């Protein structure tokens, strides 16, 4: 038996990396179950595939560097990346998309910079952007929620597996028949085509705030975020700053011109706003370190998300906003350095 020698006090840590990572994954479980209820089993299958890609890549990278794989694989950090990336991916993707995404996220954005705690950019977002840019068709295969009055044919578990691994769809069903645009996409295209926001929001896919089904998932992610705040995994500065950065311009523009700009409530509960605010932007390694810096960083993400959602060509701007603000973090940290006590 191997007993590790450590200096006194011989007390186990209350909080360690695996504990923190596990809490993050737990916080996502309710939202994942809700997502599966509304949108089918795609999320769970994607999670397994991304996790496989991520863990294999991490093991291979560590083995190539001559480092032990056991501790790194046991610290659940790859699983957190997998969970976040699988939330971002559409449910109907072929198996190689999530596997590739997981591999690229871990290899390019994490292991290449030295592993846990050394990444400059958020790995899940790097993986998502690479996939989005490389495979635009597959990355837009989103499905509508399975609610009674929406005319949609959902896939069973076996049918989903069949499509993911073999590319077969049930007879007389086409990919185009199964997929719909996301609410963010519908609003953007609708406004570009000249329709008013109120008109678009009356459609069957829209609920009280965001898209139907999607807003439920966003609510549960918000609760998960509150759990993380309560257990001290994240601090409140970045989520509050990001949501403020998103809501202030949204309120301003929709107050001035409600016909062309969606309401702040829509922005809050659509897309990955909640996920980004509580789970993605709060990644401590790629976020700003100082308190003032965190406010600037969070507000910048929120602002960029709104700008890219409203005027960019991609429907969801969060991933790009996060990568852009990650790039500005070294400068933010440098210019918001706290004053050293005694220095003028």
- 320 is a contact residue toward another protein (CB under 8 A): yes
- 44 is a contact residue toward another protein (CB under 8 A): no
In whole angstroms, what is the distance from residue 304 CA to residue 310 CA? 10
- 121 is a contact residue toward another protein (CB under 8 A): yes
The helix (run of H) or strand (run of E) holding residue 161 is helix 157-161
- 69 is a contact residue toward another protein (CB under 8 A): no
* Helices of type H across the chain: 17-39, 42-64, 70-74, 77-88, 96-109, 123-134, 157-161, 175-178, 183-192, 197-201, 214-230, 237-256, 264-269, 273-275, 291-311, 318-335
- 72 is a contact residue toward another protein (CB under 8 A): no
Smallest gap from residue 332 Cβ to another protein (A): 9
- 54 is a contact residue toward another protein (CB under 8 A): no
- Which residue, 69 or 146, has its beta carbon nearer to another protein? 69
- 252 is a contact residue toward another protein (CB under 8 A): no
- 109 is a contact residue toward another protein (CB under 8 A): yes
- 140 is a contact residue toward another protein (CB under 8 A): no
- Which residue, 111 or 160, has its beta carbon nearer to another protein? 111
- 319 is a contact residue toward another protein (CB under 8 A): yes
Residue among 27, 50, 83, 126 that touches another protein (CB under 8 A)? 126
- 217 is a contact residue toward another protein (CB under 8 A): no
- 328 is a contact residue toward another protein (CB under 8 A): yes
Residue among 29, 63, 71, 114 that touches another protein (CB under 8 A)? 114
In whole angstroms, what is the distance from residue 219 CA to residue 107 CA? 32
- 337 is a contact residue toward another protein (CB under 8 A): no
- Please tell me whether residue 206 adopts helix, strand or coil conformation: strand
- Please tell me whether residue 332 adopts helix, strand or coil conformation: helix
Q: Which stretch binds another protein (CB under 8 A): 35-43, 85-93, 213-221, 318-326?
A: 318-326
Residue among 16, 26, 63, 133 that touches another protein (CB under 8 A)? 133
- Which residue, 108 or 161, has its beta carbon nearer to another protein? 108
Residue among 94, 223, 312, 336 that touches another protein (CB under 8 A)? 312
Q: Give residues with Cβ within 8 angstroms of 137, minimum separation 6.
A: none
Q: Which stretch binds another protein (CB under 8 A): 3-11, 18-26, 92-100, 326-334?
A: 326-334
- Which residue, 139 or 308, has its beta carbon nearer to another protein? 308
**DSSP E strands: which ranges in 110-259?**
none
Instruction: Please give the backbone phi and psi of residue 206, each rounded to the nearest 5 degrees, phi first.
Output: -110, 135
What is the longest distance spanned by two Cα atoms in the chain?
76
CA angle 321, 326, 330 (to 5 degrees): 145
- Which residue, 112 or 177, has its beta carbon nearer to another protein? 112
Q: Closest by alpha carbon to 186, among 320, 35, 310, 315? A: 315
Buried (b) or exposed (e) across 166-201, using 16+ Cβ within 10 A? eeebeeeeeeeebbbbbbbbbbbebbeeebebeebb
In whole angstroms, what is the distance from residue 224 CA to residue 237 CA? 16
- Which residue, 134 or 156, has its beta carbon nearer to another protein? 134
- 184 is a contact residue toward another protein (CB under 8 A): no
- 343 is a contact residue toward another protein (CB under 8 A): no
- 331 is a contact residue toward another protein (CB under 8 A): yes
Residue 272 and residue 89 in contact, taking contact as beta carbons nearer than 8 Å = no
Q: What is the DSSP letter of 337?
A: P
CA distances from 328 to 28, 214, 247, 323 (A): 28, 31, 22, 9
The first and second tokens of residue 260, run together, are 């062309």
**By the criterion CB under 8 A, which residues form the site for another protein?**
64-65, 108-109, 111-115, 118, 120-121, 126, 129-130, 133, 308, 311-314, 317, 319-321, 323-324, 326-331, 334
């Amino acid at each position: 038996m191997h007993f590790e020698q450590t200096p006194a006090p011989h007390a186990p840590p209350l909080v360690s990396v695996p504990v923190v990572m596990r809490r993050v994954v737990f916080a996502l479980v309710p939202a994942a179950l809700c997502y599966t209820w509304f949108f089918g089993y795609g999320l769970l299958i994607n999670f397994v595939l991304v996790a496989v890609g991520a863990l294999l890549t991490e093991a291979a990278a560590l083995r190539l560097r001559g480092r032990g794989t056991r501790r790194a694989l046991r610290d659940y950090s790859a699983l957190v990346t997998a969970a976040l990336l699988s939330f971002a991916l559409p449910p109907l993707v072929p198996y190689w998309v999530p596997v590739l995404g997981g591999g690229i996220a871990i290899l390019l954005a994490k292991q290449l910079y030295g592993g846990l705690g050394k990444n400059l950019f958020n790995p899940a977002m790097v993986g998502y952007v690479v996939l989005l840019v490389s495979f635009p068709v597959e990355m837009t295969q989103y499905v509508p929620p399975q609610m009674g009055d929406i005319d949609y044919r959902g896939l069973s578990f076996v049918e989903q597996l069949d499509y993911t691994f073999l590319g077969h769809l049930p007879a007389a069903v086409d990919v185009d028949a199964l997929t719909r645009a996301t609410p963010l996409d519908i609003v953007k295209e609708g406004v570009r085509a000249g329709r008013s926001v109120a008109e678009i929001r009356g459609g069957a896919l829209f609920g009280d705030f965001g898209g139907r089904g999607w807003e439920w998932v966003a609510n549960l992610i918000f609760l998960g975020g509150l759990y993380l705040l309560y257990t001290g995994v994240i601090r409140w500065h970045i989520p509050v700053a990001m949501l403020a950065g998103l809501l202030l311009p949204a309120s301003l523009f929709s107050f001035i011109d409600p016909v062309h700009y969606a309401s702040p409530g829509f922005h809050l509960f659509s897309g990955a706003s909640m996920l980004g605010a509580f789970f993605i932007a709060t990644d401590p390694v790629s976020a700003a370190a100082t308190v003032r810096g965190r406010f600037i960083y969070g507000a910048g993400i929120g602002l960029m998300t709104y700008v890219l959602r409203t005027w960019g060509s991609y429907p969801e701007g969060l991933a790009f906003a996060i990568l852009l603000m990650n790039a500005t973090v070294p400068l933010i940290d440098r210019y918001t350095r706290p004053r050293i006590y005694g220095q003028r």
